[in-house]
Copies of this chain bind each other. A is one copy, B any other.
Amino acid sequence: MRYELYYWPGIQGRGEYVRLALEDCGAGYADVARSDRGMAAMMKMMEAGAGTPPFAPPFLKAGRLVIGQTANILLYLGSRHGLAPKPEACRLWVHQLQLTIADFVLEIHDTHHPLGPSLYYEDQRAPAKKRTGEFWNQRVPKYLGYFERLRQGTGGSYLTGRRVSYADLSLFQIVEGLRYAFPKRMKAFERSIPGVVELHDRVADRPNIRAYLASDRRIAFNEDGIFRHYPALDLE
| A107 contact set on B, CB distance < 8 A | 116
Cβ of A99 and Cβ of B52 under 8 Å apart?
Answer: no
If over half of A's interface residues share one DSSP class (helix, strand or loop), that class is named, otherwise mixed; here it is helix
Chain B residues closer than 8 Å to A102, beta-carbon distance:
99
Q: Contact check, B106 vs A134: say whether CB atoms are below 8 A apart.
A: no
Contact in complex: B51, A76 (CB < 8 Å): no
8 Å CB interface, A136-189 against B: 137-139, 143, 146, 149-150, 153
Taking CB atoms, residues of chain B closer than 8 Å to A139 are 116-118
Residue A116 contacts which of B65, B72, B100, B135 (CB distance < 8 angstroms)?
B135
Q: Which of A48-92 contact B (CB under 8 A)?
A: 49-56, 65, 67-69, 71-72, 75-76, 89, 92
**Complex contact A67–B92 (CB within 8 A):** yes
- Tell me if A210 is interfacial: C-beta within 8 Å of chain B: no
For A69, what are the chain B residues with a Cβ–Cβ distance below 8 Å? 95-96, 99-100
Given contacts A49-B153, A93-B52, A110-B110, contact A99 B72 (CB under 8 A): yes
Interface size on A, residues (CB 8 A): 47
Q: Which residues of B contact A115 (CB under 8 A)?
A: 114, 127, 130-131, 134
Instruction: Give which listed residue, B72, B149, B153, contacts A95 with CB less than 8 A.
Output: B72
Chain B residue numbers with a CB within 8 Å of A135 are 116
Tell me, in angstroms, the Cα distance from A40 to B180 when the chains sit together. 39
| Complex Cα spacing A146 to B67, Å | 16
With both chains docked as a complex, state the minimum distance between the C-beta of A53 and any C-beta of chain B, in angstroms: 8
Least CB distance from A149 to B in Å reads 7
Q: Chain A: residues with CB nearer than 8 A to chain B?
A: 49-56, 65, 67-69, 71-72, 75-76, 89, 92-93, 95-96, 99-100, 102-103, 106-107, 110, 114-119, 127, 130-131, 134-135, 137-139, 143, 146, 149-150, 153
Query: How many angstroms between the C-alpha atoms of A67 and B71 in the bound complex?
Result: 16
Q: Which residues of B contact A146 (CB under 8 A)?
A: 55
- Rounded to whole angstroms, the CA-CA distance of A69 and B102 in the bound complex is 11
Question: Is there contact, CB below 8 Å, between B114 and A131?
Answer: yes
**CB–CB B75/A95 < 8 A:** yes
Known: A53-B149, A53-B150, A114-B127. 5 other contacts (CB 8 A): A65-B89, A71-B71, A110-B110, A114-B115, A118-B134
